[in-house]
Structure 1
Amino acid sequence: MTIDLAQIIKAYDVRGTVPDQLNAEVAGAIGRAFAQTLRELGEDKGSIVVAHDMRESGPALVAAFTDGVRGEGMDVVHAGLGSTDLLYYAAGSMDLPGAMFTASHNPAQYNGIKLCFAGARPVGQDSGLAQIRDRAQAMLASGEPIPPGIGRLEHRDLLSGYADYLHQLVPLGAIRPLRVVVDAGNGMGGYTVPAVLGTVSALTIVPLYFELDGSFPNHEANPLEPANLVDLQKAVVEHGADLGLAFDGDADRCFVIDANGDAVSPSAVTALVATRELAKHPGSTIIHNLITSSAVPEIVREHGGVPVRTRVGHSFIKAEMANTGAVFGGEHSAHYYFRDFWSADTGMLAAMHVLAALGESSQPLAELGAQFERYVASGEINSKVNDASAKLAEVKAHFAAQEQDELDGLTVRFADGAWLNLRPSNTEPLLRLNAEAPTAERMAQLRDEVLAIVR
């Protein structure tokens, strides 16, 4: 039975369960198809760089993918274990297309592939991924074997180069001593944090779950879920730490906890990093998606920057980064994008900015962060619906007297500074609600008013 690749090759990446949806045969076909598509698009640099996370299935899938690439006559630089942003560093610094084998925060039975062009530019549905899917599907259907590998294979350790590059961007040599609890969630933060932060003399790192284990024995490596932050919050308070950092499975996202054990919202981190980037690059553009806090564009303007609002999703942020030459971009999901990092996302660099800001200040993080928190947010609330567009139309009609736009779902703005965004999921029968207001009471009232219609 041929696997239907449309089930696992989505808008931005490949993701499926191993081995029924993603196995060596599929990975080999995708490797061949990637090489052929690069050639067709004029993106062939002669080599492709690959890395994988700590999942047990990673090495075998990479080996098969590598065979496919080499069968098409291209060389492979194999970086071994890595975080997703380490792979982006490789693709950027070496100017090569790349393939990162990871399923990010998905459960243990999953794996996946994030593909990029040279310079860490994203490969998505509209920029090559559809061709790769169709080519690989045809190869699987025909059952033709992979041609013998004529491309060369080179193993290269890129971890120290990655760490050095990040320290050039955010030097931490002069900060005050800080105690930092880091929850790696048994993901790739356990590999990259010792190399990047473990070498900073001012930092005392208290490690949580640094053992690389793709079965995630302690908790899911998804810090967006509050339940997965509980251990970190407790440890920060117990150790009297200055802050806590939580990374997801492939360590491209980072969440921040203050000394009281409270989460610092990704919007506040976005605003904090934005002010630091604007101090270095006055008047620059900062990207934020439409469900980050209103505080972000306000603070960007106050610091002389130009805020640009985008749809939710990394492909939209990266496209806007390229269009505007933006110096930085942030999302509510704790993805942070830097022009100095090939406009790709890196949680580690965002974490280093927070450490630098805290280490240069005498204030605790709760006080430092408070200036970037101006509103009360609902967080993302999902509702299962039978007909998303009908419910959206109902909400639109209900708030017809208010300012509205449909950049991504429906956004409604109110005169008191409150707003709501309701957008359909791309993959499930869900509507996602985000609401924000100047007070908790107003936010709750607005949230409940919308949910009464949706549910």
Structure 2
Amino acid sequence: MTLTAFNWPQLQNGSDIRGVALEGVEGEAVNLTPEIAQILGMAFVHWLSQTLNKSTSELTVGVGRDSRISGPTLMDAVLAGITKMGSNGYNFGLASTPAMFKSTVTDGFNCDGAIMLTASHLPFNRNGLKFFTAQGGLGKGDITQILSLAAEQTFEKAADPGQVSEHNFIGVYAAELVSQIRAAVNHPDQFEQPLQGLHIVVDAGNGAGGFYAEQVLKPLGADITGSQFLDPDGTFPNHIPNPENKEAMAAICQAVTEQQADFGIIFDTDVDRAAAVDHLGQDLNRNRLIALISAVVLREHPGSTIVTDSITSDGLSQFIGDELGGVHHRFKRGYKNVINESVRLNQSGQESWLAIETSGHGAMKENYFLDDGAYLISKLLVELAKSKMAGRNITDLIANLTEPQESEEYRIKIQTDDFKAHGNSVISKLEEFAGQQTDWQIVPNNYEGIRIALNSPSEQGWLLLRLSLHDPVLPLNIESNVEGGVASISAKLTSFFQSIDGLNLPPELISS
């Protein structure tokens, strides 16, 4: 099996593999075929064998998938590659990304490695692979090695192929969450059903998260009436399963309001991200979600450092530091960046129990630093149950969080071949421009791009311009604490950007 002309590096997306698995979108040719998937399965087994110093016949690899249409075919192909190398494969069927990691550390399974077939919130035609060992998700360098092995294809098929067996691991994973919630609430009168009397609505967006309603909330006694889009459907007919998507958040907020529910939950496609909605139909997302889980974590671990990505608000920093007594460490975008920084801080002696991105990727030290949307929500449900028993609302925990009056994100496209060099040049020019503005101050200790504090009465906020991790784009985030502040800031920036060649400004920035 050879694909000598195939461009394997094109499949790398940071610490994941992603590609086009189905026809149907103009200009997007299929590059993640069953043949490619089978070779990737073989390459991962070869990599595992070298990394763990085990023969391929000693290895067991678990494979799961989200609800994408291409999932079953690609899963069969990956498992074929695994077994051709002599390893045994566990077919976990529909699963979540966090569950796939857990299969490597759960007694009775203890897979040597695991693969999740998912492309997160990307469109129906995309798919990809995420890889795990008991040490966690593979890093960027590991993926590069696996793709190199796939390109070389120096591995040989085993004389005795391995076997595939089917297992319902998502049921095992769900049962563990149920046990954790029961133990954490520890209600003497309703230990088995600590969520009894709570009405909780789940929106899975037709991804892989529908199990949470039936297999976690129901056994705990919650009323899940009004939960929606629980059935897996890889065409995603209702909305994109993505907590950052406005339509998706509007759908779960509306469901909570219509059902007069106590709480709402929304997951992304593969359940490594989540967001919530309070009893008033207000979203608990981005800064509000970070503040809420930070309040829980800092009560359990006073003084801990909370690591977030770069676009969190000034109000969140003040809340974590002044209100909760924690340390806010604002780092780079990218969930792996945030997690790795929290791990690094712990290794250096600075206690950090939470790493979380505004996208909803949240990872906790107590849970292998796994970005696990279901685990994050389960932590909040424990607090929800305790709050109800005490006659409080869970949102009382963030009553003193100062939120911006206005916030916007714009994506400025870079139209040059060497987009990274040009993007960095634009950031340097903005630094010069900022120095010429009254009441603009460059924020120190910023880890990517440039963050500027805006102190004039008509602006009162901040902006961050950075280079996208993978795309020829300069994301621009602006927040203001005064009405009309974003428009005032945007107008000043538009004239600056229009003076630079090679940029395509979004219409909403020009018209703001």
TM-score by length of 2: 0.80
In 1: Cα distance, 2:262 partner to 2:344 partner: 38
1:165: which partner in 2? 176
1:13: which partner in 2? 16
> 1:286-318: CA deviations, max 9, x gaps?
211121223333333343333332211122122
Task: Please state how far the C-alpha of 1:114 moved relative to its aligned partner.
Answer: 0.8
Larger Rg: 2
3-state SS in 2 of match to 1:41: helix
In 2: Cα distance, 1:436 partner to 1:162 partner: 39
In 2: Cα distance, 1:47 partner to 1:307 partner: 40
User: Does residue 124 of the first structure (1) align with residue 139 of the second (2)?
Assistant: yes
List aligned pairs for 1:252-267, cutoff 5 A.
Answer: 252-267=272-287
- Kept in 1, the 8 Å contact 2:92–2:168? The answer is yes
User: Does residue 111 of the first structure (1) align with residue 124 of the second (2)?
Assistant: no
Task: Please state how far the C-alpha of 1:53 moved relative to its aligned partner.
Answer: 1.1
- Kept in 2, the 8 Å contact 1:15–1:112? The answer is yes
Farther-moved stretch of structure 1 (12-21 vs 377-386):
377-386
3-state SS in 2 of match to 1:59: helix
Q: 155, 162, 166: which one pairs with 1:151? A: 162
Task: Please state how far the C-alpha of 1:116 moved relative to its aligned partner.
Answer: 1.9
Amino acid at match of 1:356: V
User: Does residue 314 of the first structure (1) align with residue 335 of the second (2)?
Assistant: yes
> 1:409-453: CA deviations, max 9, x gaps?
222234687322111223332211122343344444334433443
1:340: which partner in 2? 366
1:436: which partner in 2? 479
In 1: Cα distance, 2:147 partner to 2:340 partner: 22
2:25: which partner in 1? none
> 1:102-157: CA deviations, max 9, x gaps?
111111111110112223x221222x111111111223xx9x98555533433322
The 3 A distance-change label for structure 1 pair 300 and 96 is farther
2:463: which partner in 1? 420
2:85: which partner in 1? 72
The 3 A distance-change label for structure 1 pair 194 and 305 is same
Gaps of 5+ in 2: 23-29, 186-192, 347-351, 416-421, 498-504, 506-512
Farther-moved stretch of structure 1 (287-296 vs 161-170):
161-170
User: Does residue 83 of the first structure (1) align with residue 96 of the second (2)?
Assistant: yes
Task: Please state how far the C-alpha of 1:178 moved relative to its aligned partner.
Answer: 2.3
3-state SS in 2 of match to 1:177: coil
In 2: Cα distance, 1:214 partner to 1:25 partner: 21
- Kept in 2, the 8 Å contact 1:337–1:343? The answer is yes
In 2: Cα distance, 1:165 partner to 1:448 partner: 52
User: Does residue 3 of the first structure (1) align with residue 32 of the second (2)?
Assistant: no
In 2: Cα distance, 1:43 partner to 1:13 partner: 23
Identical amino acids, percent of aligned pairs: 27
2:224: which partner in 1? 204
Task: Please state how far the C-alpha of 1:95 moved relative to its aligned partner.
Answer: 6.4
Task: Please state how far the C-alpha of 1:212 moved relative to its aligned partner.
Answer: 0.9
In 2: Cα distance, 1:414 partner to 1:373 partner: 17
Amino acid at match of 1:114: K
How many pairs does the alignment contain? 450
- Kept in 2, the 8 Å contact 1:269–1:354? The answer is no
3-state SS in 1 of match to 2:466: strand
Amino acid at match of 1:73: G
The 3 A distance-change label for structure 1 pair 258 and 270 is same
In 2: Cα distance, 1:50 partner to 1:149 partner: 20
In 2: Cα distance, 1:175 partner to 1:211 partner: 23
> 1:342-361: CA deviations, max 9, x gaps?
10111112222333333333
> 1:198-247: CA deviations, max 9, x gaps?
22214434211111111112222223121233332222222112232221
Farther-moved stretch of structure 1 (7-16 vs 417-426):
417-426
3-state SS in 2 of match to 1:160: helix
User: Does residue 27 of the first structure (1) align with residue 37 of the second (2)?
Assistant: yes
- Kept in 2, the 8 Å contact 1:259–1:366? The answer is no
User: Does residue 390 of the first structure (1) align with residue 429 of the second (2)?
Assistant: no
In 1: Cα distance, 2:40 partner to 2:197 partner: 47
Farther-moved stretch of structure 1 (5-14 vs 90-99):
90-99
- Kept in 1, the 8 Å contact 2:315–2:404? The answer is yes
- Kept in 1, the 8 Å contact 2:86–2:161? The answer is yes
- Kept in 2, the 8 Å contact 1:160–1:195? The answer is yes
> 1:40-64: CA deviations, max 9, x gaps?
3347583222211122321221222
- Kept in 1, the 8 Å contact 2:100–2:115? The answer is yes
- Kept in 1, the 8 Å contact 2:257–2:279? The answer is yes
2:63: which partner in 1? 50
In 1: Cα distance, 2:195 partner to 2:320 partner: 25
Amino acid at match of 1:36: H
In 1: Cα distance, 2:196 partner to 2:320 partner: 27
In 1: Cα distance, 2:67 partner to 2:487 partner: 41
Task: Please state how far the C-alpha of 1:91 moved relative to its aligned partner.
Answer: 2.6
Farther-moved stretch of structure 1 (89-98 vs 343-352):
89-98
- Kept in 2, the 8 Å contact 1:284–1:305? The answer is yes
In 2: Cα distance, 1:293 partner to 1:14 partner: 31
Question: Pairwise CA RMSD of aligned residues?
Answer: 2.7
Task: Please state how far the C-alpha of 1:100 moved relative to its aligned partner.
Answer: 0.4
Could you list the structure 1 runs, at least 4 aligned residues long, displaced by more than 4 angstroms after superposition. Answer: 144-149, 363-369, 414-417
TM-score by length of 1: 0.89
- Kept in 1, the 8 Å contact 2:116–2:131? The answer is yes
In 2: Cα distance, 1:409 partner to 1:288 partner: 15
- RCO higher in 1 or 2 (8 Å CA, sep ≥ 6)? 1
3-state SS in 1 of match to 2:325: coil
In 1: Cα distance, 2:249 partner to 2:296 partner: 27
The 3 A distance-change label for structure 1 pair 103 and 137 is same
In 2: Cα distance, 1:34 partner to 1:308 partner: 35
In 2: Cα distance, 1:327 partner to 1:228 partner: 29
- Kept in 2, the 8 Å contact 1:170–1:349? The answer is no
In 1: Cα distance, 2:400 partner to 2:294 partner: 13
3-state SS in 1 of match to 2:104: helix
The 3 A distance-change label for structure 1 pair 249 and 285 is same
In 2: Cα distance, 1:341 partner to 1:408 partner: 28
